[in-house]
Structure 1
Amino acid sequence: MTSPSPSRSRSPPPPPHPYEIRGFEIGGDSFDINIRVNSVRFDIPLSPDNFERSPKALALFKKIFSLVKSDDDGDPDVWAYAREVADHFLPEFQRLAPKKVHTGKLTLADLKASGYFECEYKVVKERPTITAVKPWGRQDDDDGPCADKEWDMRTYQSTFPLYSLEDVEIPYTDGESIHDIIPQRVFVNGKTCFYKSCYSPWDALEEVTKYCKLAQSGLSISDLRTSRLSGIVTYRDGLARGLLYDWIETKDPGTLTWAIEDDVPRSQKNKWALQIRDTVRKLHSLGVVWSDVKPDNELIDMDKNAVVIDLEGGTTRGWVDRELLGTIEGDQQGLKRLVDFILNDESPLRLRNRIGSDCEYDSEEEE
């Protein structure tokens, strides 16, 4: 057997980027690139003012901005542009956010941001330059991002216990990569819970209100098959940092999306459809709207029961129309499509899963 010629050999893959682009924030005619490097957060603001005598660079910025503004921030061109800009700050990232090895118990407090910096980026005569990297905003993550007392979980509700970041333990295996962990399976006082971060303290209010209604109903998990809130993780000022749920044991990957197979008995599919219908009916009787109806928000537990999860809100394209967000009508529309997904082997939404999970139906639109 002859060896492949050098011209046909494959180049090694490029090294991974030593930072994580967390997303984009839009304001007016500008947008910010949000970046995490280990425990440090960096923000790169971009606007037309960043470009001097650079028509080509300005035109590219406007193209990328239009994609981000139109919710096409998943476009490869957007991410390539963001990485190109961020790469100019690599020396500063390495200086200000060196990797550290963690030993011992790991908690949410160990994963909190240890610093915030704003990166000033300019393009002059088509040449990118770094003008400054300076501390930005608060440098202490012990308090919440604002002081709105209406969002204080200590006074907003009394149904669920509150926990600090130090109370939530996270299992890990690599002390060098703790900041790459997305905490989900955690331990609180020895109890296994599922953890979900809050994008903002305000975002937690509606969901906590729904789970308060569920808890006050007195219905058990066998009577009302939904996820159950176990506690709330807060900052020192009482604002929500994340939510803790009772752990639901499943087989991987656990959701209805992947549990549906052609060889699943018809009786089992009928059972799931009936359980979900019953759960949604009972939720509505309690004044609770599921909202984001889709098979990814149904877990199949070890006893093959369908359990509704994610009462946070929002809708997903293809399942609930955007204008029906947060309404009983939206739930009814999504439920009809979900039952068809379960019972109809030729359901368009079922066929979508067979060709991949990157089609338009997976594009989630949170309001």
Structure 2
Amino acid sequence: MENLLYYGIAFWQTHRTEDDCELAIRTSNGRVFYCRFDPSQFHRSPSTTKLYFKCLNTLRSEEEEIDGFYVEDARPTISQYLFALYFVCALKATDDTPEPYQLDTQDSGWSTPKTRMNGAFVASLDQWTQSYHPADVEISYDRPQHVSIKDPTRVVVAGPGGSEVTCFFKPFRLTFGPVLARKELRTHEEIVKAKIPPFPETSICRLRGIVRDGNDFYSMLFTWIEKKAVLSKGLAAKSSTLRKQRWANQIGRSVEYLHQRAIVWGDVKAENVLIDRNDDAWVIDFGGSYTPPGWVDAEKAGTVEGDMQGLAKILDLLRS
């Protein structure tokens, strides 16, 4: 098969009140172009301006066009994704003639998402979980146009005896600071040390390791779940009573095990229950950073009482 070069928008940032935008274009050969667009730089260029606003409105709507082209799996490393060669660019236009130009990368404001942590917390990690260097984590893509472009989700690391272990990649975003990162990792440490039984006795998504380089933390790795759907009112409405009862039992039993060991789920909502391809319900996400109104009262968030309030609403959804 011909080795084609693919590219796509990996990230974009628009504003509600301003018409400028920024986006990152990644290529399948490991390049990143950070681009800035401001229509005030388009002079006597009505066609360019019209096209720009059409693109801007598409980005604001968060719609994605998918062409349905599938090919074999490809696996670059997380290191290649995080530390790609990058360029900072901008665009101006005169008389509808686009003029792209390059900016200095030193003051670009772009950086690799990571969280930096220090002290005894970092030193204790190897006692209860495994650390992986970014160069040792391979990204598993299914489509060539996603290679080194789409945010990684499924990754592969080395397992016992030369085996491979598939994991879910959850990055530490720029908004996910050390306080929240440490809080979520502490909860997973408690789960490990409490020796909560694995599936099928409980269905709790487990931490498999951390991707870091020294004190720079890039992501958490979790048990890979072949997701069928996220629990929702619509999914419950079209599911059988027997199936919903199965999910209710699995969720309730998992939360009960957590509470018996004084561990709080902390972010209780239907979106944090995954239904896998075998129709099992999994409890995920112990960050506890935000629970939308309607699930847990603000004053109860992060408590056993808050867990029980949110759980009751999930069970009500499954009884509907």
- TM-score tier after normalising by the smaller chain length: 0.5 to 0.7
Note if contact 1:42-1:116 (Cα within 8 Å) is conserved in structure 2: yes
- Provide closer, same or farther for how the CA distance between residues 138 and 168 of structure 1 changes in structure 2, counting only shifts above 3 A: farther
Note if contact 1:314-1:325 (Cα within 8 Å) is conserved in structure 2: no
Note if contact 1:185-1:192 (Cα within 8 Å) is conserved in structure 2: yes
Q: What is the match of residue 208 of structure 1?
A: 185
Equivalent residues in 2 for 1:293-308 (5 A)?
293-301=268-276, 304-308=279-283
User: Which of 159, 182, 193 is residue 167 of structure 2 equivalent to?
Assistant: 193
Q: What is the match of residue 157 of structure 1?
A: 125
Q: What is the match of residue 339 of structure 1?
A: 315
Given the alignment of the two structures, is residue 134 of structure 1 paired with residue 103 of structure 2, yes or no? yes
Q: Distance in 2 between matches of 1:244 and 1:299?
A: 16
Note if contact 1:107-1:166 (Cα within 8 Å) is conserved in structure 2: yes
Q: What is the match of residue 233 of structure 1?
A: 211
* Greater shift in the superposed pair: 111-120 or 335-344: 111-120
- Provide closer, same or farther for how the CA distance between residues 279 and 242 of structure 1 changes in structure 2, counting only shifts above 3 A: same
Q: Distance in 2 between matches of 1:131 and 1:247?
A: 42
Q: Distance in 2 between matches of 1:280 and 1:160?
A: 22
Note if contact 1:227-1:246 (Cα within 8 Å) is conserved in structure 2: yes
Note if contact 2:266-2:306 (Cα within 8 Å) is conserved in structure 1: yes
- Provide closer, same or farther for how the CA distance between residues 161 and 299 of structure 1 changes in structure 2, counting only shifts above 3 A: same
The superposition leaves residues 287-313 of structure 1 with CA deviations (integer Å, 9 ceiling, x where unpaired) of: 543343233322335664422012233
* TM-score, with structure 2 as normaliser: 0.67
Q: Distance in 2 between matches of 1:29 and 1:80?
A: 14
- Provide closer, same or farther for how the CA distance between residues 30 and 157 of structure 1 changes in structure 2, counting only shifts above 3 A: farther
* Greater shift in the superposed pair: 271-280 or 38-47: 38-47
Kindly state the Cα deviation for residue 163 of structure 1 after the two structures are TM-superposed. Answer: 0.4
Higher-Rg member (1/2): 1
The superposition leaves residues 117-137 of structure 1 with CA deviations (integer Å, 9 ceiling, x where unpaired) of: 33345689x989758422424
Q: Distance in 2 between matches of 1:34 and 1:52?
A: 17
Q: Distance in 2 between matches of 1:340 and 1:176?
A: 42
Given the alignment of the two structures, is residue 110 of structure 1 paired with residue 80 of structure 2, yes or no? yes
- Provide closer, same or farther for how the CA distance between residues 204 and 156 of structure 1 changes in structure 2, counting only shifts above 3 A: farther
The answer for unaligned runs of 5 or more in structure 1 is 1-16, 65-74, 84-101, 345-367
Counterpart residue identity of residue 155, structure 1: A
Q: What is the match of residue 89 of structure 2?
A: 119
* Greater shift in the superposed pair: 29-38 or 331-340: 29-38
Note if contact 1:116-1:135 (Cα within 8 Å) is conserved in structure 2: no
Counterpart residue identity of residue 269, structure 2: K
Partner-residue secondary structure (3-state), 1:241? strand
Partner-residue secondary structure (3-state), 2:148? helix
Q: Distance in 2 between matches of 1:118 and 1:247?
A: 35
Kindly state the Cα deviation for residue 151 of structure 1 after the two structures are TM-superposed. Answer: 8.2
**What CA RMSD, in Å, does the superposition of the two structures yield over aligned residues?**
4.7
- Provide closer, same or farther for how the CA distance between residues 81 and 219 of structure 1 changes in structure 2, counting only shifts above 3 A: closer
User: Which of 5, 18, 24 is residue 35 of structure 1 equivalent to?
Assistant: 24
The superposition leaves residues 203-231 of structure 1 with CA deviations (integer Å, 9 ceiling, x where unpaired) of: 53322111111001111124543100011
Partner-residue secondary structure (3-state), 1:37? strand
The superposition leaves residues 128-157 of structure 1 with CA deviations (integer Å, 9 ceiling, x where unpaired) of: 975842242499x9x966784438974363
Q: Distance in 1 between matches of 2:107 and 2:115?
A: 13
Kindly state the Cα deviation for residue 160 of structure 1 after the two structures are TM-superposed. Answer: 0.9
Counterpart residue identity of residue 157, structure 1: L
- Provide closer, same or farther for how the CA distance between residues 127 and 317 of structure 1 changes in structure 2, counting only shifts above 3 A: farther
- Provide closer, same or farther for how the CA distance between residues 254 and 335 of structure 1 changes in structure 2, counting only shifts above 3 A: same
Q: Distance in 1 between matches of 2:121 and 2:31?
A: 27
* TM-score, with structure 1 as normaliser: 0.59
Partner-residue secondary structure (3-state), 2:103? strand
Q: What is the match of residue 267 of structure 2?
A: 292
Q: Distance in 1 between matches of 2:97 and 2:57?
A: 17
